[in-house]
Amino acid sequence: MYNIAVLPGDGTGPEVVDEALKVLTAVAKLRGFEFCTTRYDFGGDRYLSTGKIIDDADITELRRYDAILLGAVGHPDVAPGVLEKGLLLKLRFDLDQYINLRPVKLYPGVECPLAGKTPADIDFVVVRENTEGLYTGAGGFTYKGTPNEVAMQIMCNTRHGVERCIRYAFELTRKRNRKKMLTLCAKTNVLTFAHDLWWRAFNEVGEEYPDIKKDYAHVDATCMWMVKNPEYFDVIVTCNMFGDIITDLGAMIQGGMGVAAGGNINPVGVSMFEPIGGSAPKYTGKSVINPVAAVAAMAMMIENLGEIEAAHAVETAIMSVTANKMKSMSAGKMGHSTSQVGDLIVEALPDGGNA
Ligand code: IPM
Ligand code: MN
């Protein structure tokens, strides 16, 4: 029995989470496992009515779950940064979800903006460091508001944090067993302290993995190759900020925010899975948003819980729906409503989801 905390969040989050849970219910029945969910209303609406975002007691409570499924964070009436920092980043940091795992995979039938590229060309994984780098909030102002103002944002890299991320990426590359190539994406030619640490850790940890090819690309070149030769990549490991940026590019080449899923992983604690796209306020409540990313995030969640075959069944069902049933991955252009896409994925499971 898996205990899952569900955080639908803001905007279209609740709509897409409902579809993910619909598919989860069907696949659990099919594969014979049980789960129970507890919903939490953390997000913009709760903040606006109570002034509360998420506190340490809430975090303590969340530690008791086997996994967390998150919808979306971001509210048009809340200043930028408040919920991002107070909710999403707090969860990632406090639960020590030090890996942000973001597969970039073009599903069949999904339109790709790169000319001539097919699902055979776009299938790699980004391992983004998720608890340090430019995201720790370290820094400050001096002479704020004056012409002499200084604003500093510190890029924090610890040997411990960098090394555990790199080691996770090597293990994943081995487990994936494809090209067996791990690319370090950094900027060693400019970040001569921060990314020197990454470079040394990468090479030292890499010695433990003689079967894995060690590759390096600067972040700007990584962007270039992701567009020109995405088939080159197998697994990419990178710092928090670069990972944030290149995975938006990754989402675009895999068909958009409607399909991109990710996992915030603590390999020895509670992990949290989310569609990468935001809360899409303008589409809220219209049943036009694409739930594929949320369903794919749920598949990553059950894979992480050990339900490998169930996860595989969900991904296969998603691919059959993108290939045969959906007109587009864009909101409002799918040829179906949000809940119809959820139904189609259920129907595409073995036995039509009626085990
Ligand atoms: C993401 C988002 C977040 C990030 C924001 C909302 C803080 O862009 O999950 O990629 O920068 O990590
Ligand atoms: Mn982002």
pLDDT in tens, 126-183: 999 999 999 999 999 999 999 999 999 999 999 999 999 999 999 999 999 999 999 9
Does the structure show a pLDDT above 90 at 273? yes
**Using CA positions, which residue lies closest to atom 7 of ligand 1?**
84
- Expressed in angstroms and rounded, the spacing between residue 340 Cα and the centre of ligand 2 is 28
- Expressed in angstroms and rounded, the spacing between residue 239 Cα and the centre of ligand 2 is 13
Ligand 2 ion: nearby residues, β-carbon < 5 Å: 244
Contact present, 15 and 338 (Cβ < 8 Å): yes
Count of C-beta atoms within a 10 Å radius of residue 173: 26
What is the pTM for the complete model shown? Answer: 0.97
Nearest atom in ligand 1 to the alpha carbon of residue 274 is 9
Can you list the positions of beta strands (E) in the chain?
Answer: 2-9, 35-39, 67-72, 99-105, 123-129, 139-142, 150-153, 181-186, 213-218, 235-238, 261-265, 271-275
Nearest atom in ligand 1 to the alpha carbon of residue 92 is 12
Within 13 Å, how many C-alpha atoms sit on residue 111's CB side?
9
pLDDT at 355: 57
% the chain with pLDDT above 70? 100
- Expressed in angstroms and rounded, the spacing between residue 323 Cα and the centre of ligand 2 is 27
Average pLDDT over residues 17-43: 98
Contact present, 29 and 312 (Cβ < 8 Å): no
**Using CA positions, which residue lies closest to atom 2 of ligand 1?**
244
Residue ranges around ligand 1 (CB below 6 Å): 84, 88-89, 244
Nearest atom in ligand 1 to the alpha carbon of residue 73 is 6
Residues 253 and 69: their CA atoms lie apart, in Å, by 24
| Packing angle, helices 240-253 and 219-228, rounded to 10 | 10
**Using CA positions, which residue lies closest to atom 6 of ligand 1?**
84
**Using CA positions, which residue lies closest to atom 12 of ligand 1?**
244
How far is the CA of 193 from the CAs of 109, 156, 161, 213, 219, in angstroms?
44, 10, 15, 24, 16
